[in-house]
A and B are shown apart, each in its own frame.
Chain A
Amino acid sequence: MKHLTELPILNPGLSRRRFVQGLAAGGVLLSLSPLARATGLLSGAGTKTGTANILSGTQFDLEIGESAVNFTGNPRIATTINGSLPAPTLRWREGDTVTIRVTNRLKETTSIHWHGIILPFEMDGVPGISFRGIQPGETFTYQFKVQQNGTYWYHSHSGMQEATGVYGAIIIDPAQDDPIRADREYVVQLSDWTDEDPMRVLAKLKMQGDYYNYNQPTAVDFFQDASRIGLKAAIDKRKMWNEMRMSPTDLADLSADVLTYLMNGTTPAGNWTGLFRPGERIRLRFINGAANTFYDVRIPGLQLTVVQADGINVEPVTVDEFRFGPGETYDVLVQPKDDAHTIFAQAMDRTGYARGTLATHAGLEAPVPAIDPVEWLSMGDMMGAMGGGMAGMSHGDMSGMDHGNMKGMNHAGMGHGAMTAAGASTEVRHARTEYGASIDMRVDTPRTNLDDPGIGLRNNGRRVLTLADLHTIGGPMDPRGAEREIELHLTGNMERYTWSFDGVEYGKSTPVRFHYGERVRIILHNDTMMTHPMHLHGMWSELETPDGQFLARRHTIPVQPAQRISFLVTADALGRWAWHCHLMLHMDTGMFREVVVA
């Protein structure tokens, strides 16, 4: 229980540890204190945090309003659904028609987007594209037929509300028996919280792109390197970064300096706990509902059997760890051996982690691993295939490398003989708008292999899931090959803090048109040094290998630095849709396009 004496106003020496670890109590208790209310900061009621209530059936009433939270010792106001962070878990059944009445109790426009759900575009919940948004005091009724099953989530698509608490899980039970058998299941929704106004956070990044990066190379590092590897090597190691004015530790825009990492709305110190009985097989529905954070998730001592990605069942693959970005979901099966296991989800930039426990009794804990050291981005992350150290390789024969990496992962039992068309074109075509102030680099020799877990996870001694491990059961939804290709580049300028497609921010862009009914190949070519979780609304993104073999049906695909990936889309959903990076600030500063299916 926190006392008023620990309010930062009275006790400015708030410990760093508490900020990163968060308050154990999650804040509701403090927010209920009459003294805290007297500060005038708290107007809403306390927020329910921890495991969310489950609402099921076909009729739902959701109310978006303000409520008080305290994750760090600083009382703050969150925007929440039914006073809960995360929002209530909605449990639907495939084939049902659901009706959700969403009432806006905020002073600003709000919305709910059903992430990964196939529905009419008017129900998709993107203000300015699908509908007008829900005005203050207004109730909007969403109604659509549920045509899929699995783990999904929902969140506001208005302003910065997805950073301030408007997100929750969706579980859709299959119309028939669920082929994934488990004795028990938990939603594990990861998110991130900032005590600052997210718009203010963005304003600070506009002042200085690396405002929140406290892992920058220092002169001390330089001398240490020089004595370890020699002066010349130490200089060489920094040369290209310095010349290009790029930071090798630019792993995340926001760090634990401003974020508190949450698991089911609970801080690491709060230790969200899921109980089980010994011998049980548990299904964990992992949802990354963060605004800004890629998480690397593992449960030390347990293997994770990944059975579903983005709501779609995949051939089970057993790993020690997986990385996922905002928007992505993974369902994993685990069988605990001990009485307590830590669910450890470190942020990709290694400044903090979310943490919870699977335990046989409340209050049990398992050791929490140390955060892995920060790794510098590699030359491959900057230059793609050329940076991979493959001396003597010419630009023309990149394919040799790709195929080598793909061996043994292709066609296993997927029965998609029709999909043997050649892969995506490898000719890099930068847009003419990629030569100006909006971008800070272009990659001419992208890497196309999908078996790289990414920076910080390479050769860490653990088996880490990669995109190449994912094989959707049943093959692609559409046997047709691509009728045409759309190549778009993911671009940005960290120094100016602006993000875009093809160097063009949303406000200056034109929509991308899909012909209704066509099967189109999308190539996303990442001309930045960050990983972007790319989310196309309304239609599935069917990820393929560089040589055109189907891998997995996703709604959100992470594209690594200097990587070029491709996926096929069946344009079966008329209307206007959003397509964007799911890092909220990237989306908001312009890495966003409208798609018109007509």
Chain B
Amino acid sequence: MKTTLNSSGIRIMNSLFKKKLLTAAMVTGVVLPLFAHGQTQHAGHAEHMPAAPKSSVPAEAAGMNHGTMDMSDMDHSSMDMTGMDHGSMSGMDHGSGEMDHGDMQMQGGSAPPDARDPDAYSDGFERNAGKYALPPSDALIMSDMHKFGSVYFDRLEYVKARSEEWAAYEGEAWYGTTYNRAVIKAEGEVAGGKLQEAETQLLWRHAVSTFWNTELGFRFDHADGAPNREWLAFGFNGLAPYWFEVDATAFVGPSGRTALALEAEYDILLTQKLYLQPRVEVNFHGKDDKRWGIGSGLTDGTAGLRVKYEITRQLVPYVGVEWASKFSKTADYAKAAGESRQETRFVTGLSFRF
């Protein structure tokens, strides 16, 4: 169920992305031609991304192709995005009957059965054992065995809506190796000196393919005036073609609560330091949660556009505008509580990392 939600969710996200963002005058010229290509010519695919079932991925899905190329016409500008795995390609029309595909799959895919064994040249020799070897206590330790860490605040901002103002934060910290990291994600809002809402996740992030990671862990929600909520979290994040940063996580909580959160971000460089950053976020819930003002189905969505300036890679102030909307039952709850269902927000903030 999670996986189905993921793939269909991405499609929804993309169409929302289009509606909300591509109509924005500032970006239309840049994004539309690129994005249109990104959407129409790819079979949906996320390399080894386990969350994407081959059979149910629609052809115009998230654009997570893997760069398979149709070499038949030698026109490199027209890459034919075929399916994700040779075994399941038969049913897909990849626009070229003449050439053996799979010849030029430059990314992703799975190893053919006769792929070379990377240890074949060792003749059984190991590092730090056997003839001429130093003992393991003297082993050479390189950075590939080191752990690294980073703290990244994507948004630390002051938000002004029509009648309210508050502060918002969203960021993550990670620590670990190239392929396995412990991750803390935090997102929340502060108003009147008080934490209004906080969502914190503790995850294990595991690299599964060139650009994609899975994430597995817990999420804790806290809100002023509502009971805490705990969830199990499973999702993926990574980089889709055309450099879209995508985050999609499914949640399961007690009492049969389920949720899905999708987020995508994109940087449009105007100069090496100044860029536009469209960003969308949508949430779904499987069940009503009245105490939290949540109705089942598509709950809420946000589309923002920020203008960011990199003083350094680590310090990036920005201003932006954001459109937020609550949908269906959630909107009804909001209305009943006297809150706005849709609002335009102006944000001023800082991204930083170290």
The stretch from A321-329, A463-471, A499-507 touching chain B is A499-507
Size class of the contact patch on chain A:
35 or more
Q: Which residue from A133, A240, A498, A598 sits with its C-beta under 8 Å from B79?
A: A240
Contact A433-B118, Cβ < 8 Å, known A219-B30, A590-B142: yes
CA A214 to CA B128, docked complex, whole Å: 41
How many A-B Cβ pairs are below 8 Å? Answer: 232
Q: Are A128 and B141 in contact (CB under 8 A)?
A: yes
Is A272 an interface residue, CB under 8 A from the partner?
A: no
Give the residue name and chain of the A residue nearest to B243 (CB).
A245
Scan A210-224; emit 1 where CB is below 8 A from any B CB, else 0.
010011111110110
Chain B residues with CB under 8 Å of A511's CB are: 122, 125-127
Q: Are B210 and A440 in contact (CB under 8 A)?
A: yes
Is B188 an interface residue, CB under 8 A from the partner?
A: no
Is B74 an interface residue, CB under 8 A from the partner?
A: yes
Is A524 an interface residue, CB under 8 A from the partner?
A: no
Chain A residues with CB under 8 Å of B242's CB are: 242-243, 245
Q: Are B111 and A231 in contact (CB under 8 A)?
A: no
Most buried by B among A242, A504, A506, A511: A511
Q: Are B139 and A437 in contact (CB under 8 A)?
A: no
Q: Are B241 and A242 in contact (CB under 8 A)?
A: yes
CA A486 to CA B111, docked complex, whole Å: 19
Q: Are B241 and A596 in contact (CB under 8 A)?
A: no
Q: Are B142 and A589 in contact (CB under 8 A)?
A: yes
Q: Which residue from A199, A219, A498 sits with its C-beta under 8 Å from B144?
A: A498
Q: Give the shortest distance, in Å, between A493 (CB) and chain B (any CB).
A: 6
Q: Are B127 and A509 in contact (CB under 8 A)?
A: yes
Contact A132-B138, Cβ < 8 Å, known A203-B148, A207-B353, A590-B144: yes
Is A594 an interface residue, CB under 8 A from the partner?
A: yes
Chain A residues with CB under 8 Å of B140's CB are: 126-129, 506
- B303-331 with Cβ < 8 A to chain A: 313
Q: Are A496 and B77 in contact (CB under 8 A)?
A: no
Q: Are B106 and A442 in contact (CB under 8 A)?
A: yes
Size class of the contact patch on chain B:
35 or more
The stretch from B220-228, B247-255, B257-265, B268-276 touching chain A is B268-276
Is B116 an interface residue, CB under 8 A from the partner?
A: yes
- B59-113 with Cβ < 8 A to chain A: 65, 67, 71, 74, 76-79, 81, 103-111
The stretch from B33-41, B229-237, B287-295 touching chain A is B33-41
Chain A residues with CB under 8 Å of B67's CB are: 240, 243-244, 441
Most buried by B among A219, A231, A429, A433: A219
Is A513 an interface residue, CB under 8 A from the partner?
A: yes
Q: Are B207 and A444 in contact (CB under 8 A)?
A: no
Q: Are A510 and B127 in contact (CB under 8 A)?
A: yes
Q: Are B143 and A502 in contact (CB under 8 A)?
A: no
CA A65 to CA B201, docked complex, whole Å: 46
> Which A residues lie at the B interface, using CB under 8 A?
121, 126-129, 131-133, 199, 202-204, 206-208, 211, 214-220, 222-223, 231, 235-240, 242-245, 379, 382-383, 386-387, 389-393, 395, 429-445, 486-488, 493, 495-498, 500-513, 574-576, 585, 587-590, 592, 594, 596, 598
Task: Knowing that A216-B269, A238-B34 touch, tell me 13 more A-B residue pairs with CB under 8 angstroms.
Answer: A127-B138, A128-B134, A131-B134, A217-B269, A379-B76, A382-B106, A437-B207, A437-B209, A442-B105, A444-B106, A502-B116, A511-B125, A596-B130
> Which B residues lie at the A interface, using CB under 8 A?
29-30, 33-34, 37-38, 42, 48, 65, 67, 71, 74, 76-79, 81, 103-111, 115-119, 121-123, 125-128, 130-134, 138-145, 148-150, 152, 178-179, 207-212, 239, 241-243, 268-272, 276, 313, 353
